[in-house]
Amino acid sequence: MKSRFETKEYEFLEIESRDTEDGKIVSIFLNNPSSRNSMTWKMGEEFADLIHSLRKEKVLPRAVIVSGRNDVFCAGGDLNLLRSFSEKSFSQNRRDMRKFYGFFLSVRKLPVPVIAAVNGHAIGAGLSLTFGCDLRIFAEEGKYSFNFVRLGIHPGMGSSFLSPELLGKSLGGRLLLTGETFDGKFAKSCGLALDSVPKSEVYSRAMELALSLSKAAPLALQELKKNLYSWKQLDSALKKEAESQARNFISDDFKETIKSILEKREPKFTGK
């Protein structure tokens, strides 16, 4: 009998399952070809539903890989979604942003190792998703950036907590404050990525790692994942991010961001 996640169809995700002698390896691919795998509300709901299904399996997969279709990992928040936030109230956005973060960061609650196969560009919330995974393989030629402040908003999707957690306050803070772009080689050099390989080899390298992890004792790995992370601390950071972003979304600066994107020019912020 097929597992639930193998039979269910998703609009913005593709699922592959590989049986090995040690157990199953599940691959989740973000798939929004119209906008470089940008995150929509529906994609988030689908992602959270899939993670929930995986957690409820009688026999858990030995490892999970998260990657992207369309020669890219994820371009961050979908423009139409961002524009909708500029039209909502502070209280609506605070509530909705906290829920939206939870959709994708549910991956952190999976009790098995999760590998981000970052096969191309990962921007903003898309990059934050990779930080929420346990291990990362980056494409050497990929472009990566926490571009939040350049869009007139506070960093979200847990990045204000995850970036310093992984990289320390100095480097993590630098990437958040500057919004600078870096490549896969830099990600490996600073310890963010376990490995950095050509784009065409990212998924195969991630699968190689998943196969290695599948040979470890599954119960030991599950207990280790419980002890590696503090969801309570991340949850506290997410609440603060949701409030800060909600405040930014109703600002003139964010309205200028949306206008500048539509007009294909640099935004001119006034601090209002």
Assign residue 181 the CATH number of its domain: 3.90.226.10
Looking at residue 6, its pLDDT comes to 56
Q: What is the tens place of the pLDDT at every residue in 103-160?
A: 999 999 999 999 999 999 999 999 999 999 999 999 999 999 999 999 999 999 999 9
**Residue at 3 is within a domain:** no
Predicted TM-score of the model (pTM): 0.95
Q: What is the tens place of the pLDDT at every residue in 203-252?
A: 999 999 999 999 999 999 999 998 998 788 999 999 999 999 999 999 99
Q: Is the pLDDT of residue 68 over 80?
A: yes
**Residue at 270 is within a domain:** no
Contact criterion met (CB below 8 Å) for 128 and 157:
yes
**Residue at 271 is within a domain:** no
**Residue at 84 is within a domain:** yes
Query: Predicted confidence band at 4 (pLDDT cuts at 50, 70, 90)?
Result: low
Q: Is 95 exposed, middle or buried (0-12, 13-18, 19+ CB in 10 A)?
A: middle
Q: Which domain holds residue 114?
A: 13-200+215-263
Using alpha carbons, select from 9, 229, 209 the residue that is nearest to residue 110: 229
Tokens of 116: 């981000």
Using alpha carbons, select from 189, 150, 149, 184 the residue that is nearest to residue 167: 189
**Residue at 67 is within a domain:** yes
Tokens of 90: 């502070």
Q: What is the tens place of the pLDDT at every residue in 146-200?
A: 999 999 999 999 999 999 999 999 999 999 999 999 999 999 999 999 999 999 9
Query: Predicted confidence band at 43 (pLDDT cuts at 50, 70, 90)?
Result: very high
Query: Predicted confidence band at 1 (pLDDT cuts at 50, 70, 90)?
Result: very low
**Residue at 222 is within a domain:** yes
**Residue at 80 is within a domain:** yes
Q: Domain count for the chain, please give it.
A: 1
Looking at residue 7, its pLDDT comes to 56
**Residue at 158 is within a domain:** yes
Q: Is the pLDDT of residue 5 over 80?
A: no
C-alpha 259/C-alpha 267 separation (Å) is 8
Q: Is the pLDDT of residue 61 over 60?
A: yes
